[in-house]
Copies of this chain bind each other. A is one copy, B any other.
Amino acid sequence: MAEKIALVGIGKIARDQHIPAIHGAKEWELAAVVSRSTALDGVDTYPTIEALLAARPDISTLSLAMPPRPRFDVAVKALNAGRHVMLEKPPAHSLAACLQLQRLATEKGVGLFASWHSRFAWCVPAARAWLEDKTLVSLRIAWNEDVRRWHPGQHWIFEPGGMGVFDPGINAVSIMTEILPDPVHVKEATLLFPKNRQAPIAATVAFHHGGGADVRADFDWRQEGPQQWTIDVETTDGHLCLTDGGSKMYVDGTLVDDGLNEEYPRLYRRLSELVTAGRSDMDLSPLVHVVDAFALGGRVLVEPFHF
C-alpha cells in the first residue's frame, strides 16, 4: 500500500518535478500540500505547516520543496512532530543549520533525507562502479549555463546566501562526491562577483586529492549558446565522460550508457527505501565543499550583471 506524503511549497520545482514524481510513484500517495496561496486540484491544501501537522497525524512523511531559508523552521516543526522529512537541495542555508536538523532527527528517531537530485541522474551509479577500482589522474567539472535562461529575473539568487553560480554548481559537486572513491577538499578557489551583485556569477575551484590527481571545477553562468554540464575523468585505465548532467556516459569516447531524466522518480524511490528502513541519509559533503570555496576563495570583481 502506498505511504501518505505531504508536499510543502508549491513553486516551480514542485510543479515541474516533485508532483509528477509523486503521482508516478507506486510507493507514495500525495495526501496533502501546504501552500498559503495555491490549491492543488484533488489534494487537501493546508495554509501552514502547523495546520497540516495538527490535522493530519496519518501523514508520516513530508517533502519540503520550498527555498532553504524558510525551510529550516518548517523542518524543525515536522521533525518535532515525529514526521520523516525530505529536504530539497541544499538541505539548509547554512551548514550549522543542517547539523542541527541532523541532531534533531536522531533525537526524535525519525528519518531525514538531504536529497541531491543530480545524484539520481541516469549514469551516476554506472560511473561510480566504473571508477571504483581505477587510479585517478584528473577530474574536471565544466558546468556552464545561461543564468538568464534558467533563472530569469530571480534576483534573490545573487543576494547574500543565494549562492550564485554554486546553486547549479553544487549539483556537479554532488555527483563528484558520489562517484569519486577518494575524499577531496578545496585547496583554492576564485570567485567572480559582478560589481552590482552579492553572489558569484562564475567560479573556479581546485581540490586537493590525496593521490595527487588534478581535480578542478569551472562554473560559469555566462554561457550562451550550447549549455554544458560535463564531468571528465582521466584514470590510468581509461577516460570517463559524463555529459548532460549525468544522463550520458562515455568511456574512451564511446557512449556506454544513456538514459531518461528520471532524477526525481528515483529520488522518491530512495525516500521510500529510507522511510521503510527507518534510516536517514544526510550526506553534507556537497555543501561542505561549497562553503569551503566561499571561505577560501579569492574574489574578483567583474562587470555588472543585469537580467
Contacts and interface: CB of A to CB of B under 8 A. Distances in A.
B198 A96 contact: no
A238 interface: no
Contacts of A103: 183
Contact of A94 (B72, B95, B295): B295
A288 interface: yes
A292 B100 CA distance: 14
Contacts of A211: none
A116 interface: no
A94 B74 CA distance: 30
| Total copies of the chain | 2
Contacts of A99: 183, 285, 288
Contacts of A76: 210
Interface in A71-116: 72, 76, 92-97, 99-100, 103
Chain A, interface residues (CB within 8 Å), range: 35 or more
A188 B208 contact: no
A289 B96 CA distance: 7
A241 to B, nearest CB: 25
A268 interface: no
Interface stretch (A59-67, A131-139, A296-304): A296-304
Contacts of A298: 159-160, 198
Given A94-B185, A100-B183, 11 more contacts: A92-B185, A95-B95, A95-B291, A95-B292, A95-B295, A96-B183, A100-B185, A160-B298, A161-B188, A163-B295, A291-B291
